[in-house]
Structure 1
């Protein structure tokens, strides 16, 4: 079944109003996509769907700091589980989210609620999430916070089939240049703007020559940014079911 998300809809889910300039090399001024680039970009969300579940690292701005989330995202099930850290030992723990909201747990070793030592790896965090007692998860719906926006964005980067190249081209994405991440070169594209206006899109994508997504940046309207890095690494056994059993709602 085709995903309900379109490239322009992704800009809407980002919940943003403005864009920030940034420098990329090799490519000159922003320009319309070539036919080959449009075909590649139209495959990107499908490639993300085929590669899922994958590891992601998210950086989301908070008042006075940044939340870093390392998680495994399953685009087939629209679920994700991982670990969040704000730099404050009292504000870190396990995190699970889906299309309707998020759950936070700070369990003790026995699975009950309490302080949680930082896991040595994402795989360990996923195993911890599978062992947590259902009552240790605190569930809430999404709100306007940038963290919530970032989590929702991670679940909207894939589609069960390629997008229409023709419709994508007509919606106005731009090639912004090239950039290097971890020694590899990526083309940098702006997503189509969320409205049929000449405004720039708040979303920027780093895509490799094979159409695989490496990074997404969402520019917020208050000079802050959200970064989502897709590492391409698999985490076994994937997203556990535990966080969705016996959810406890708060707020």
Structure 2
């Protein structure tokens, strides 16, 4: 199976989950203002966020995703290489006691894990456990979504305004302003754009179109959160990239 076909299958699991859990996931507090149509500035910020990530090349992400286990990972995502690498732990739902821990690496079609080394060195190729991405696993859907936060071209802001993406609220002021926006919702049966209530994604984006945080409803409806870290990140080691390019 090709990388792109596998990725499409994995990402379709997000939409499938919406059918299982229903709409209305994006709910504001009773006192919050209703979602608003995006202004031109807001639509432009949303339109370039993936392109900005791709242009940066490597972006540090902290991920928390829920499924049969809870996955927490602190990784570097290399959008140009289509890969991610870093530390991870898993735990039982509702617990912080680790079940497993070590390093994790993934591409669009496979995932590898290994025990961490005492000196922080990259584990040898023989130390990795390798498996295909699994579209039925919410945590794998979250890993695939992380790679989709970068793209080599901007989106069309006009189409985003027409898609059902909405402004939920504005946080901060001035240069610290962050737009909290729902992504495009599921289209209605008559083909009309989805609403904020039917959206499975929420973006925190600054005025220049740089992602601060991303949240997606996966699996049974639990959120997967992706928080962008600060600072420059080292490149993913070449031996990890070679490992990810190996066939299963």
Given the two structures, how large is their TM-score scaled by the length of structure 1? 0.76
> Match for 1:214 among 196, 212, 215?
212
- Residues 24 and 73 from structure 1, CA distance in 2 versus in 1: closer, same or farther, beyond 3 angstroms? farther
Match of 1:114 in 2: none
Match of 2:79 in 1: 75
Give CA deviations for 1:125-155 in whole Å, capped at 9, x if unaligned.
xxx33xx111111111111212101110110
Could you tell me which runs of 5 or more consecutive residues in structure 2 were left unpaired when the two chains were aligned.
91-95
Match of 2:14 in 1: 14
Number of residue pairs matched?
221
SS in 2 for 1:153: helix
Higher relative contact order (CA 8 A, sep 6+): 1
Richer in helix (by share): 2
Give CA deviations for 1:214-235 in whole Å, capped at 9, x if unaligned.
1111123624110011124322
- The answer as to whether partners of 2:26 and 2:200 remain within 8 angstroms in 1 is no
Match of 2:46 in 1: 41
- Residues 146 and 208 from structure 1, CA distance in 2 versus in 1: closer, same or farther, beyond 3 angstroms? same
Match of 2:93 in 1: none
- Residues 29 and 107 from structure 1, CA distance in 2 versus in 1: closer, same or farther, beyond 3 angstroms? closer
- Residues 21 and 171 from structure 1, CA distance in 2 versus in 1: closer, same or farther, beyond 3 angstroms? closer
After superposition, residues 83-102 of structure 1 pair within 5 angstroms as 83-86=87-90, 87-102=96-111
Distance 2:213 2:112 in 1: 25
- The answer as to whether partners of 2:54 and 2:151 remain within 8 angstroms in 1 is yes
Match of 2:155 in 1: 163
SS in 1 for 2:140: helix
Shift of 1:171: 1.7
Match of 2:240 in 1: 243
Could you tell me which runs of 5 or more consecutive residues in structure 1 were left unpaired when the two chains were aligned.
110-118
Shift of 1:245: 3.6
- The answer as to whether partners of 1:10 and 1:156 remain within 8 angstroms in 2 is no
Match of 2:128 in 1: 137
Distance 2:32 2:56 in 1: 28
Matched, 1:54 2:95: no
Shift of 1:49: 1.1
Given the two structures, how large is their TM-score scaled by the length of structure 2? 0.77
Distance 1:53 1:24 in 2: 35
SS in 2 for 1:235: coil
SS in 1 for 2:170: strand
